[in-house]
Amino acid sequence: MKKLNVALFGVLLLIFACQRPTSENKIDLSTPWKFHSGDDPSWSTAAFDDSRWELINPTEIWEKQGYKNLDGFAWYRIRVIIPHSLIDNAFIKDSIQFKLGKIDDYDQVFLNGELIGENGKTLPVKTDPRPDFFKGASQWDTERRYVLGVGDSRVHWDQENVIAVRAYDQGGAGGMFSKPFEISMVDLSDHIKFDFTESGFKFTGDTLISKQFAVYNISAKEEFHGKLLIHANRCDNGSQLFKQETVLNMPPGIRTVFTVNVIKDLSVPATIYFTYRESASGKEVRDQIEMPYILTPKPGKAPRINGASVFGVRPWSPFLFKIAATGEPPLTYGAEGLPNGLRIRAVDGLITGMMSKKGDYTVKIKVANALGTAERDLIIKCGDIISLTPPLGWNSWNVWGLSVSDKKVRQAGDAFAASGLINHGWTYINIDDGWEDTHDRNGNILPNSKFPNMKEMCDYIHSLGLKVGIYSSPGPKTCGGYEGSYSFEEKDAQHYADWGIDYLKYDWCSYGGIAPNPTDRELKFPYKEMRRYLRKVKRDIHYSLCQYGMGDVWKWGNEVDGNSWRTTGDIEDSWESLSGIGFTQDKCSPYSAPGRWNDPDMLVVGWVGWGPRLHYTRLTPNEQYTHISLWSLLAAPLLIGCDLTQLDEFTLNLLTNDEVIAIDQDPVGKQARQAWKDQDCQIWIRDLADGSKAIGLFNLKDTPLPVNVKLDDLGFKGKWMMRDVWTQKDLGMVMTHFEMNVLPHGTRLLVLRK
Ligand code: GLA
């Protein structure tokens, strides 16, 4: 079998050894390239003989092609004839472009021995390669497109050209990947662009959704005359909801903003299609955007208790638990059987005080309004373990990055209250990196000028019934270059407690300089160290380990007494990032338990941007449903990473579905496992406390997918009542099988009850 593969590759090589244009006037570069690890300047030259190099597929990272532990430098080379006919057949005869997918993490690209670009930026003739091109933020998610004028001396028309790519991988996945890989003339679609990121969707009343978008011409000298055609179709039956045609002339550099208004049932998925048709050539540029659709029913007027049903506290730690409840105000809160030392505030359901005796206590909590009373048991476990359900909250990083400030943190707290998120169990307001100044002469950590008074700020957040988180590193510096806790652990822990901190994210970062090739013991050491001091303070502080999954942290996070541990690198708001993280968490499944959570990183819905400039998430609505559904099945800490002052109706719908949140908060704390997987579809199942099963059907394709589920294949016997969790509707009994349509990159989240 292996031999056969090799032989086939050889044939491919003969056919594609020198690429030629296809009928679409493009040269395909997604065919095998030559590849060698290491680094040598002569590998950039046309004359270099690479005949002994290995072949590699450029659309997949090198780890997937036999180079498992390769970090650092490697080179890719390909030979191509670039015929003048590309220009002759082109509509715009100005520039030629080299599209090289993406490169993890950094690159320099040479054409016939001369540098043409670096990390996605085209460079002029005779630019010297920068020696430190592989420093700074990773460029793994940047598209590599290099554009040269047709007269550029680096292109050899009608002759063989050698493209040589010097790649540098700083760790993890490495090398060229993604698509497209091609050479073509810069065309209409490279000049005319649609931009949907400047605003979110706006909802007016029950049926009107508006979306602002821009069409722009990035060309510095080409002018286009044509028409803009827009139509919107429902995704379920294809029927047209909207159609419009506008004459649109596009001088060089122009950017025009439009608003499209579509009337539709808010719960119906639909897509808006955009076409710019150039009049003279008939050429078209197309784009499309999925419209948000709201599945979460609005909370009823009768009282309803939401959020966690079990809460852990240590003896002698300040107790703070807010009963989350919805219903028409005013609501009155009560609790029967509160253990000694605790009291409840009737106006907002805030339970405070302090417990001295270990044990499990069942408290009957009650919420009443003019329409009736809701009751539920809350189990308070006074003992050693806290965070008995995954933390629900907000963290500043994915939105504000290092530009976080006291004001932004208070605004997030206010928004939790104003938007009603607090009524669904959302609790933590966490400051990430960017708050620190230095340690003073006595070793006291000082916040920087953006945080004038930490204690006052924490008091304010607590007064809202919320909790506060903070961030540090076991190294001397944080990932953002701020002061870490190295050698100040004990004092820092005490400061956090004195300020009123309830959550610490402890991020490895520069500890890599202290333990460059960490052994298992070295990986654990700094986390044990800080834990010792956190245990000493008279305050419950959720301990969140952040070291990106090194040394399979999920296997020993429990041993170092972490409450949660990041299992991956940093998430971004793209399908590649989301699916790459979410669908590879099965390995962590056996290790989650109450107080011990696998953390696949924070949420990327709403207005994100790593600050200070923000953009609306690049995930489609379907992808966002997948995000929240999968993270809930994974029993993940849910930390919203968006600007809460700009919460739109769709994002709020994603974050306030109490049945979805109840899956995340299920008291048994068992993470879902991957029950089925093929290229197009995955099924994940989570066992819930009451014996029912939460099931996620995920469509990995970018077209709709009918999924046929046989209960036998999942090991389910007998009759089950099936409920659609997002719409909160029963779907009837199932005994043998069921079939469902799942939207592109979308999810169906179900609960099967005996
Ligand atoms: C690392 C973490 C992020 C964030 C930044 C802050 O990258 O993984 O979540 O905390 O550091 O600098």
Per-residue model confidence as pLDDT tens digits over 668-702: 999 999 999 999 999 999 999 999 999 999 999 99
Residue 728 lies inside a defined structural domain of this protein: yes
- Cβ neighbors of 10 (< 8 A, separation 6 or more) are none
195-224 pLDDT, tens digit per residue, is 988 788 999 988 999 999 999 998 888 999
> Whose alpha carbon is nearest atom 3 of ligand 1?
570
Residues 166 and 308 in one domain: no
Name every protein residue with a CB atom under 6 angstroms from any ligand 1 atom.
Answer: 397, 432-433, 478-480, 507, 546, 570
Query: What CATH number corresponds to the domain at position 359?
Result: 2.60.40.10
CA angle 496, 497, 501 (to 5 degrees): 65
- Alpha-carbon gap, residue 340 to 447, rounded angstroms: 37
What's phi and psi for 127, nearest 5 deg? -85, 135
Residues 178 and 263 in one domain: no
**In this structure, how many other beta carbons lie within 10 angstroms of the beta carbon of residue 457?**
23
Residue 519 lies inside a defined structural domain of this protein: yes
Tell me the pLDDT band of 138, cut-offs 50, 70 and 90. confident
- Over residues 638-643, the mean pLDDT reads 98
- Over residues 624-648, the mean pLDDT reads 97
Cis status of the peptide bond prior to 474, with omega within 30 of 0? no
CA of 359 to the centre of ligand 1 (A): 37
DSSP secondary structure string for all residues of 95-125: EEEEEEEEEESEEEEEETTEEEEETTEE--T
- End position of a domain, from candidates 291, 319, 341: 291
What's phi and psi for 626, nearest 5 deg? -60, -45
- Alpha-carbon gap, residue 31 to 59, rounded angstroms: 9
> Whose alpha carbon is nearest atom 11 of ligand 1?
479
Q: Would you call 570 a catalytic residue per the annotation? A: yes
Residues 351 and 434 in one domain: no
Q: Could you tell me the end-to-end alpha-carbon distance of the chain, in angstroms, rounded to an integer?
A: 47
CA of 411 to the centre of ligand 1 (A): 21
- End position of a domain, from candidates 291, 323, 354: 291
In the chain, % of residues over pLDDT 90: 92
Residues 432 and 285 in one domain: no
Residue 92 has which token pair?
A: 């715009």
Is 416:394 a contact under the CB 8 Å cutoff?
yes
CA of 549 to the centre of ligand 1 (A): 13
Tell me, rounded to whole angstroms, the distance of Cα 290 from its chain centroid.
18
Residue 681 lies inside a defined structural domain of this protein: yes
Residues 572 and 497 in one domain: yes
What's phi and psi for 573, nearest 5 deg? -90, 65
Tell me the pLDDT band of 299, cut-offs 50, 70 and 90. very high
- Alpha-carbon gap, residue 164 to 170, rounded angstroms: 20
- Cβ neighbors of 112 (< 8 A, separation 6 or more) are 46, 154, 156, 161, 162
- Cβ neighbors of 226 (< 8 A, separation 6 or more) are 247, 248, 249, 250, 276, 277, 278, 279
- Over residues 372-391, the mean pLDDT reads 98
- End position of a domain, from candidates 382, 402, 419: 382
Residues 326 and 275 in one domain: no
CA of 570 to the centre of ligand 1 (A): 7
- Alpha-carbon gap, residue 543 to 553, rounded angstroms: 14
CA of 479 to the centre of ligand 1 (A): 6
Q: Are strands 310-313 and 372-382 parallel, antiparallel or unpaired?
A: parallel
pTM, full prediction:
0.87
Residue 593 has which token pair?
A: 């338990």
Name the residue of 570, 572, 604 whose CB sits within 8 Å of the most ligand 1 atoms, as the mutation to test its pocket. 570
Residues 451 and 564 in one domain: yes
Residues 211 and 171 in one domain: no
341-355 pLDDT, tens digit per residue, is 999 999 999 999 999
Residue 57 lies inside a defined structural domain of this protein: yes
What is the position in ligand 1's atom list of the atom closest to the CA of 479? Answer: 12
Residues 82 and 163 in one domain: yes
Name the residue of 402, 432, 553, 581 whose CB sits within 8 Å of the most ligand 1 atoms, as the mutation to test its pocket. 432
Total length of the chain = 754
Q: For residue 7, what pLDDT is reported?
A: 31
- Alpha-carbon gap, residue 518 to 525, rounded angstroms: 10
Distance (Å) of CA 413 to CA 142, 311, 376: 34, 21, 26
- Alpha-carbon gap, residue 145 to 183, rounded angstroms: 10
Beta bridge partners of 52: none
Name the residue of 170, 507, 548, 571 whose CB sits within 8 Å of the most ligand 1 atoms, as the mutation to test its pocket. 507
Q: For residue 9, what pLDDT is reported?
A: 33
Q: For residue 12, what pLDDT is reported?
A: 34
Tell me the pLDDT band of 2, cut-offs 50, 70 and 90. very low
> Whose alpha carbon is nearest atom 8 of ligand 1?
570
Name the residue of 399, 400, 433 whose CB sits within 8 Å of the most ligand 1 atoms, as the mutation to test its pocket. 433
- Alpha-carbon gap, residue 719 to 575, rounded angstroms: 36
400-437 pLDDT, tens digit per residue, is 999 999 999 999 999 999 999 999 999 999 999 999 99
> Whose alpha carbon is nearest atom 9 of ligand 1?
570
Q: Catalytic: which of 187, 433, 492, 507?
A: 507
What's phi and psi for 8, nearest 5 deg? -60, -40
Q: Would you call 265 a catalytic residue per the annotation? A: no
- Alpha-carbon gap, residue 348 to 275, rounded angstroms: 52
Is 430:396 a contact under the CB 8 Å cutoff?
yes
Residues 212 and 333 in one domain: no
Secondary structure letter of residue 677 according to DSSP:
E
Q: Catalytic: which of 570, 586, 687, 724?
A: 570
Residue 510 lies inside a defined structural domain of this protein: yes
Is 457:406 a contact under the CB 8 Å cutoff?
yes
Query: What's the total number of domains in the chain?
Result: 5
Q: Which of 98, 85, 79, 77 is nearest to 157 (CA)?
A: 85
Cis status of the peptide bond prior to 612, with omega within 30 of 0? yes
Half-sphere exposure of 547 (CA within 13 A, CB side): 27
CA of 440 to the centre of ligand 1 (A): 24
CA of 136 to the centre of ligand 1 (A): 14
Range of the domain at 736: 673-753
Residue 658 lies inside a defined structural domain of this protein: no
What is the position in ligand 1's atom list of the atom closest to the CA of 401? Answer: 6
